[in-house]
Amino acid sequence: MPGNSEYQYNQFLPKTPSIGGTTGAGVDHVHCSFGFPNSELFLIKELAEAAKNATLSHGHLALHYPGGPGTWNIRQWIANRGRSRKIKSNPSDILITAGAGQAIDATARVLINPGDEVWVEAPSFFSALRAFEIAGAAVRAFPMDENGLQVDLVQEALEFATFNGGNLPKFIYVMPNFHNPGGVNLSVERRKQLSSLAIKYNFYILEDDAYADIHFNQGVLPAIYSFAPERVIYIGTFSKIIGPGIRLGWTIANSEILQYMRLFLLGSQTNPFMQEIIAGLLENIEFDKYLNDVNQRYVGQLDVMIHELGRYFGDEIKYNKPSGGFFLLVKFKEKVDVSALVALAEKKGVSVVNGKEFYLNGSDVNEIRLCFTYSSENQIRKGIERLAEAYKEMKHATANVEV
Amino acid sequence: MPGNSEYQYNQFLPKTPSIGGTTGAGVDHVHCSFGFPNSELFLIKELAEAAKNATLSHGHLALHYPGGPGTWNIRQWIANRGRSRKIKSNPSDILITAGAGQAIDATARVLINPGDEVWVEAPSFFSALRAFEIAGAAVRAFPMDENGLQVDLVQEALEFATFNGGNLPKFIYVMPNFHNPGGVNLSVERRKQLSSLAIKYNFYILEDDAYADIHFNQGVLPAIYSFAPERVIYIGTFSKIIGPGIRLGWTIANSEILQYMRLFLLGSQTNPFMQEIIAGLLENIEFDKYLNDVNQRYVGQLDVMIHELGRYFGDEIKYNKPSGGFFLLVKFKEKVDVSALVALAEKKGVSVVNGKEFYLNGSDVNEIRLCFTYSSENQIRKGIERLAEAYKEMKHATANVEV
């Protein structure tokens, strides 16, 4: 009977559920896990006014099907903003997406045929790894150091593949600024080198720049896009600066790529109504001042986190202090059962993410990722204390076993 | 040199651009092409208030990542509303999507491996056909009559395939109410028959019910979902009743399907901010009264369109008069070069859609689809007059050639 055979879903469906999103923990719980902004910084009043005004001014048009790459106002703002990273673009080079997530997914769908290679950094953003996997890509990872992706190793691999008839990548996915989870920046020299390789070996660079505006003590380096506009698909988002719930991001790329991406968006093109609201908001606030306030707050929270880590963990951990972004990647010098530590910390009232989520094959890496943006300074103090308690208990238990 | 080889994009990328969206024609132009609601019916004032209030009341939560299947308020409303079509569901059976379009796309991605069969009605919604094609499906079409899909022919094909070792469909895509573009309803008997076949032959039914609330002289028939909840993926949308620009739709299905669909949405999960706005709007309006006003307006516009078609075309056309929905599918009794007619009509100031867009392979079917909802009665009068002028000119030109 055909009715008894097992139903066959898509062969690339992942076996494990996706991680991310809010958790249902109690009020006192400290969230240092996912990349949420601090709710206290949300521009609620300004946004409420913008929402009302945009509906009244643009409603009749914005309530219809968008049918295009996004509203003009918001793409114009993005084009202007890009200049701070040396990106020369016009609104016509920009496609609005539902956050960076949809941009990553659509790019994967446009570029990948099952079996194609995608090269990534190790570690890398878990949702991107998931999107490449779902598209059927063979993903290969390259190590990073304090200056980001080790582009020399990428070059060697490209040369080796060319010489030996191996597979070249369809694209290389990188986060050059305030890397998630690594917290480091790709040096300008390496940006140039990677761009040259993309041109020489005919692959795309998928440049995920979600955290560019969250910087604490410097400007932002020029985007990889600025060195090879034809070979780079640049992704930005309002999630980290206005709020993820509005689900608005953007892609800057050549017209061929944008045209193909739009085919995949079909009916799920991005909400023009929301775009007009945010364009109105951006017009009515002093964006750079607001951003400065946000970054002041975040660097304060980062300093508290680092201070508390020093107090409780001393020399037992190491990390690269980030100069922006949302995350601190902490490595334990001694071997720890990180899965057990994360579970115990959760019980004690603090969430952190197991570092293995950011690597292919999920092998244990003795790391955890801490988000310093969502929780207040006081919550962070509590959170690190709880993490330290969990860590001590585990070490103690292990020591007892060894005796 | 690797740099000189042609770049290989996804093998399933369609060769032709997507149709849909607003056009850039002049003010006097009459749009009878795409499925837009009438802008005059938009609840601008109410929506502006709802947008402001929802931001103030829910902003702190709604600005964060959704991380779930949608906000509770809106899923509760959808669950209640489903009862009018005999759908028994809870909020936990519902996933919010960016319009029906994203639901169709995500379903295709969950169910289809390249080469799998998807069965559809002929004619069918072009964006759905496109989504199945992009997923790599082999699509097969079955004819309709005035009672919708000819389910007997589907049954024969299932029996034939089973007997001869042929391919069964992964799912069958149907629009049971106010079909786009056919305008007809699937009879209750056929709904039951199709449900039984889905259970017996282990396929899903993708039930696209985008137009259910736009009905003129009757209630709505029970959803196919009501006869086989485990085998039906039901899709609804706010696009036709509130406005497409808010990009909110929903899927009601079993938990396995919903869980898989969420994997594909990844970061592009639906805007919780917009959901709270619409939930607030729905709470503050008398929805049934509003819907009644909308439907009164639309049936008036449909009557004008039919009257004008009778006046100009008399016996030269035929159609099934729809009892709801947005569209009238008009067949010319004599062979017409429809592509030329559509182009000439566009020049004269009225847009209509060539019927071939709704069929596989795009072979000529001597049909056009007219949308009667977007344009006012006066615009419709102008539009049909222009269409008739174009038709006459073409017939005249053809007659001259034949002489």
Task: Point out the domain boundary residue: A284, A304, A330.
Answer: A284
| Residue B20: per-residue pLDDT | 46
As a whole number, mean pLDDT of residues B57-76 equals 85
pLDDT band, very low/low/confident/very high, at A5 (cuts 50, 70, 90)? low
* pLDDT > 70 in chain A, percent: 94
| Residue B340: per-residue pLDDT | 95
Q: Are A37 and A374 contacting, i.e. CB atoms less than 8 angstroms apart?
A: yes
Q: Do B263 and A18 touch (CB under 8 A)?
A: yes
**What is the nearest CA distance from A9 to chain B, expressed in angstroms?**
5
Where are the extended beta strands (E) located within A50-116? 94-97
352-391 in chain A: CB under 8 A from chain B: none
- Give tens-digit pLDDT for B199-214: 999 999 999 999 999 9
Asked if B36 reaches chain A (Cβ–Cβ under 8 Å), the answer is: yes
Determine, yes or no, domain membership for B17.
no
Best interface-test mutation with B: which of A11, A64, A200, A202 has the largest number of B CBs within 10 A?
A64
**What is the nearest CA distance from B320 to chain A, expressed in angstroms?**
27
Closest residue to B268, CB basis, from A99, A110, A266: A99
Determine, yes or no, domain membership for A11.
no
What residues of chain B lie within 8 A of the CB of A9, using their CB?
110-111, 260
Query: What is the domain-level CATH number for residue A155?
Result: 3.40.640.10
- Give tens-digit pLDDT for A82-105: 999 999 999 999 999 999 999 999
Task: Point out the domain boundary residue: A284, A301, A332.
Answer: A284
* B380, B349: one domain: yes
Q: What is the ipTM of this complex?
A: 0.88
* A68, A149: one domain: yes
What residues of chain A lie within 8 A of the CB of B246, using their CB?
63, 271, 273
Edge-to-edge order in the sheet of strand B353-354:
B317-318, B327-332, B367-371, B353-354
* A266, A394: one domain: no
* A224, A278: one domain: yes
User: What are the tokens at B196?
Assistant: 């039984």
- Residues near A150 by beta carbon (within 8 Å), at least 6 away in sequence: A142, A143, A144
Give which of A161, A158, A172 is closest to A108, Cα–Cα: A172
Q: Which residue has the tokens 């809106």?
A: B74
166-185 in chain B: CB under 8 A from chain A: 168, 170
101-160 in chain B: CB under 8 A from chain A: 101-102, 104-105, 109-114, 127, 130-131, 134
What residues of chain A lie within 8 A of the CB of B277, using their CB?
51
Asked if A97 reaches chain B (Cβ–Cβ under 8 Å), the answer is: yes
* pLDDT > 70 in chain B, percent: 94
* B317, B390: one domain: yes
- Give tens-digit pLDDT for B80-94: 999 999 999 999 999
**What is the nearest CA distance from A214 to chain B, expressed in angstroms?**
17
Give the A:B interface size as CB pairs under 8 Å. 268
* pLDDT > 90 in chain A, percent: 80
Q: How far apart are CA A61 and CA A214, in angstroms?
A: 33
Closest residue to B266, CB basis, from A3, A9, A105: A105
**What is the nearest CA distance from A93 to chain B, expressed in angstroms?**
18
User: Domain range spanning residue B368?
Assistant: 25-43+288-402
Q: Are A231 and A203 contacting, i.e. CB atoms less than 8 angstroms apart?
A: yes
Best interface-test mutation with B: which of A19, A168, A269 has the largest number of B CBs within 10 A?
A269
Edge-to-edge order in the sheet of strand A138-145:
A94-97, A249-252, A232-237, A204-208, A169-174, A117-122, A138-145, A148-149
Q: Which residue has the tokens 């202090």?
A: A321
By the 10 Å C-beta count (0-12 exposed, 13-18 middle, 19+ buried), A1 is classed as exposed
39-68 in chain A: CB under 8 A from chain B: 39, 42, 44-45, 47-49, 51-56, 59-68
**What is the nearest CA distance from B259 to chain A, expressed in angstroms?**
8
Higher pLDDT, B2 or B185: B185
- Give tens-digit pLDDT for A241-278: 999 999 999 999 999 999 899 888 865 578 888 999 99
Q: Do A102 and B7 touch (CB under 8 A)?
A: no
Mean pLDDT of chain A: 91
Give which of A193, A136, A123 is closest to A170, Cα–Cα: A136
| Residue A60: per-residue pLDDT | 85
Q: Do A111 and B20 touch (CB under 8 A)?
A: no
pLDDT band, very low/low/confident/very high, at B266 (cuts 50, 70, 90)? low
Mean pLDDT of chain B: 91
**What is the nearest CA distance from A217 to chain B, expressed in angstroms?**
26
Q: Are A108 and B243 contacting, i.e. CB atoms less than 8 angstroms apart?
A: no
* B176, B296: one domain: no
| Residue A3: per-residue pLDDT | 44
Closest residue to B263, CB basis, from A14, A44, A270: A14
- Name the closest residue on chain A to residue B21, using Cα atoms: A67
- Give tens-digit pLDDT for A156-182: 999 999 999 999 999 999 999 999 999
Q: Do B202 and A3 touch (CB under 8 A)?
A: yes
- Name the closest residue on chain A to residue B17, using Cα atoms: A263
As a whole number, mean pLDDT of residues A232-241 equals 96
Q: How far apart are CA A402 and CA A396, in angstroms?
A: 10
* A187, A320: one domain: no
Asked whether the predicted pLDDT for residue A1 surpasses 60, the reply is: no
Asked if B98 reaches chain A (Cβ–Cβ under 8 Å), the answer is: yes
pLDDT band, very low/low/confident/very high, at B401 (cuts 50, 70, 90)? low
- Name the closest residue on chain A to residue B199, using Cα atoms: A3
| Residue A4: per-residue pLDDT | 41
In order, the DSSP letters of B228-256 are -GGGEEEEEESTTTT-GGG--EEEE--HH
Number of domains in chain A: 2
Give which of A378, A277, A97 is closest to B59, Cα–Cα: A277
- Give tens-digit pLDDT for B220-247: 899 999 999 999 999 999 999 999 999 9
Closest residue to B105, CB basis, from A42, A56, A266: A266
**What is the nearest CA distance from A209 to chain B, expressed in angstroms?**
15
Closest residue to B21, CB basis, from A20, A68, A102: A68
Best interface-test mutation with B: which of A16, A263, A374 has the largest number of B CBs within 10 A?
A263
What residues of chain B lie within 8 A of the CB of A126, using their CB?
none
| Residue B362: per-residue pLDDT | 74
Q: In whole angstroms, how large is the CA radius of gyration of chain A? A: 22
Determine, yes or no, domain membership for A328.
yes
**What is the nearest CA distance from B69 to chain A, expressed in angstroms?**
11
* A38, A54: one domain: no
User: What are the tokens at A41?
Assistant: 């910084």
Asked whether the predicted pLDDT for residue A25 surpasses 80, the reply is: no
Determine, yes or no, domain membership for A297.
yes
Closest residue to B59, CB basis, from A42, A127, A200: A42
- Residues near A42 by beta carbon (within 8 Å), at least 6 away in sequence: A243, B59, B60, B63
Strands B148-149 and B204-208: unpaired
- Residues near B152 by beta carbon (within 8 Å), at least 6 away in sequence: B193
**What is the nearest CA distance from B273 to chain A, expressed in angstroms?**
6
Task: Point out the domain boundary residue: A260, A284, A308.
Answer: A284
As a whole number, mean pLDDT of residues B281-290 equals 95
- Long-range (24+ apart) CB contacts under 8 A made by B144-147 are B144/B179, B144/B182, B144/B184, B145/B184, B146/B184, B146/B320, B147/B184, B147/B185, B147/B186, B147/B187, B147/B190
**What is the nearest CA distance from B287 to chain A, expressed in angstroms?**
18
* A56, A152: one domain: yes
Q: Do B18 and A274 touch (CB under 8 A)?
A: no
Q: A136 in the Ramachandran plot: left (φ > 0), alpha (ψ -120 to 50) or beta?
A: left
Q: Do B11 and A62 touch (CB under 8 A)?
A: no
SS3 A188: helix
What residues of chain B lie within 8 A of the CB of A104, using their CB?
266-267
Determine, yes or no, domain membership for A65.
yes
Determine, yes or no, domain membership for A15.
no
Q: Do B18 and A268 touch (CB under 8 A)?
A: no
User: What are the tokens at B34?
Assistant: 């795409």
Q: How far apart are CA A95 and CA B101, in angstroms?
A: 18
Asked if A341 reaches chain B (Cβ–Cβ under 8 Å), the answer is: no
What residues of chain A lie within 8 A of the CB of B244, using their CB?
63-65
Strands A317-318 and A353-354: unpaired
Best interface-test mutation with A: which of B15, B36, B64, B258 has the largest number of A CBs within 10 A?
B64
Asked whether the predicted pLDDT for residue A402 surpasses 70, the reply is: no
| Residue A15: per-residue pLDDT | 58
Give which of B266, B200, B83 is closest to A17, Cα–Cα: B266
* B99, B154: one domain: yes
User: What is residue A388's DSSP assignment?
Assistant: H
Asked whether the predicted pLDDT for residue B19 surpasses 60, the reply is: no
Q: Do A271 and B3 touch (CB under 8 A)?
A: no
Q: How far apart are CA B97 and CA B77, in angstroms?
A: 15
* A37, A174: one domain: no
- Give tens-digit pLDDT for A296-338: 999 999 999 999 999 999 999 999 999 999 999 999 999 999 9
Asked if A162 reaches chain B (Cβ–Cβ under 8 Å), the answer is: yes
By the 10 Å C-beta count (0-12 exposed, 13-18 middle, 19+ buried), A17 is classed as exposed
* A292, A222: one domain: no
Asked whether the predicted pLDDT for residue B263 surpasses 80, the reply is: yes
As a whole number, mean pLDDT of residues A364-384 equals 96
Determine, yes or no, domain membership for A9.
no
Length of chain B counted residue by residue = 403
Asked if A195 reaches chain B (Cβ–Cβ under 8 Å), the answer is: no
Sign of the dihedral through C-alpha A375, A377, A382, A385: positive
What residues of chain A lie within 8 A of the CB of B274, using their CB?
271, 273-274
- Give tens-digit pLDDT for B286-331: 999 999 999 999 999 999 999 999 999 999 999 999 999 999 999 9
For the whole prediction, is pTM greater than 0.80?
yes
Determine, yes or no, domain membership for B67.
yes
What residues of chain B lie within 8 A of the CB of A68, using their CB?
21-22
pLDDT band, very low/low/confident/very high, at B2 (cuts 50, 70, 90)? very low
